[in-house]
């Protein structure tokens, strides 16, 4: 099997069908879709069982208690059979040829471990908004990583064996687990690439900013501090440790109203239009 798609779902019934349909309708079909139900209290599990009964490519795992995203992803990785792992969130949409393009890149670039993409924000009703931009080349990605997460997690595909070598996701971090994984991948000498096409429609709903609490920002701080040390980031670049601490004191409602204004200061958007 070529691809194992790993997705966690917690009370995701509103968008879950749309997310799963976008995976199962990919033009590249040699895949399994592993979905972890993280002890949902809505109709998510029923939807998952319905899909599993209809399509043998769907594998449903049920957590006995709420474990959070990091542990759920590792649980999915433990049973994954694919050469490549693709991430997907339960409220986003992958465009039909996402996997075909990412597999083609990894197949033709055996020295690369990660390939992601840029995205397109969509609102709760699926209306398209601005592009979600990321740097393209490995060198640009590594240069930007001390400032900001430079790889889109729900759009990433990586080599399963490479990630296993560095311990998969670190369960010390319940959130920001992707940023930590990128830092450890950099330290291991792995290479990154972001396809400059919006292959994922990224949902920006009411919970987008509210779930990024002060506790979330503190974990972001810890992940950065660890990553800087691991990669021997120069001291003058460690000033970006202040970013999550500063964001922790901006109320979520303000963040939501000023979202695209604040995005103008995002280094990923510098000199780019979308």
Largest CA distance in the chain: 55
Which residues partner with 3 through β-bridges? 31, 84
273 pLDDT higher than 50? no
Give the residue from 244, 211, 212 showing the smallest Cα distance to 225: 244
Task: Please provide the size of the chain in residues.
Answer: 274
Span 156-202, pLDDT tens digits: 999 999 999 999 999 999 999 999 999 999 999 999 999 999 999 99
Identify the sign of the CA torsion 246, 228, 131, 199.
negative
Q: 193-227 burial, b if ≥16 CB within 10 A, otherwise e?
A: bbbeebbbbbbbeeebbeebeeebbebbbbbbebb
8 pLDDT higher than 70? yes
Q: How far is residue 157's CA from residue 114's CA, in Å, rounded to a whole number?
A: 6
DSSP assignment string, 138-176 = HHHHHHHTTTS--S-GGG-EEEHHHHHHTTSS-TT-SSS
Which residues partner with 237 through β-bridges? none
Q: How far is residue 158's CA from residue 192's CA, in Å, rounded to a whole number?
A: 9
Span 192-242, pLDDT tens digits: 999 999 999 999 876 555 567 889 999 999 999 999 999 999 998 899 999
Beta strands in the chain (DSSP E): 3-9, 31-37, 58-62, 84-87, 93-94, 114-122, 128-132, 157-159, 192-203
Give the residue from 128, 124, 33 showing the smallest Cα distance to 82: 33
Q: How far is residue 164's CA from residue 209's CA, in Å, rounded to a whole number?
A: 31
> In the predicted model, what is the mean pLDDT of residues 131-138?
97
pLDDT of residue 254: 72
pTM above 0.85, yes or no: yes
Residue in this structure with the two tokens 């369960």, named with its chain if needed: 171
Q: How far is residue 115's CA from residue 88's CA, in Å, rounded to a whole number?
A: 13
Q: 179 is written with which tokens?
A: 């940023």
Q: How far is residue 199's CA from residue 99's CA, in Å, rounded to a whole number?
A: 9
> In the predicted model, what is the mean pLDDT of residues 38-52?
98
Domains of the chain with CATH codes: 3-206 (3.90.550.10)
């Amino acid at each position: 099997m070529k691809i194992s798609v790993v997705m966690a779902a917690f009370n995701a019934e509103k968008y879950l069908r749309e997310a799963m349909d976008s995976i199962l309708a990919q033009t590249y079909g040699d895949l399994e879709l592993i979905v972890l139900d993280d002890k949902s209290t809505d109709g998510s599990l029923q939807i998952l069982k319905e899909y599993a009964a209809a399509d043998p490519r769907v594998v449903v795992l049920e957590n006995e208690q709420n474990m959070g995203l990091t542990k759920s992803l590792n649980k999915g990785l433990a049973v994954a059979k694919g050469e490549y792992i693709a991430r997907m969130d339960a409220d986003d949409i992958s465009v039909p040829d996402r996997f075909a393009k990412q597999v083609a890149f990894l197949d033709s670039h055996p020295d690369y471990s990660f390939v992601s993409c840029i995205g397109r924000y969509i609102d709760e009703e699926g209306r398209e908004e601005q592009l979600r931009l990321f740097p393209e080349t490995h060198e640009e990605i590594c240069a930007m990583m001390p400032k900001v997460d430079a790889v889109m997690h729900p759009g990433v595909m990586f080599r399963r064996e490479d990630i296993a070598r560095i311990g998969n996701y670190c369960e010390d971090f319940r959130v920001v687990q992707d940023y930590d994984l990128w830092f450890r991948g950099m330290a291991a000498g792995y290479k990154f690439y972001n396809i400059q096409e919006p292959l994922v429609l990224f949902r920006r709903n009411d919970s987008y900013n509210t779930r990024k609490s002060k506790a979330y920002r503190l974990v972001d701080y810890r992940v950065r501090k660890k990553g800087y040390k691991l990669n021997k980031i120069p001291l003058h670049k460690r000033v970006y440790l202040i970013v999550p601490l500063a964001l922790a004191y901006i109320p979520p409602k303000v963040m939501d109203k000023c979202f695209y204004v604040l995005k103008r200061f995002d280094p990923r958007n510098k000199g780019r239009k979308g």
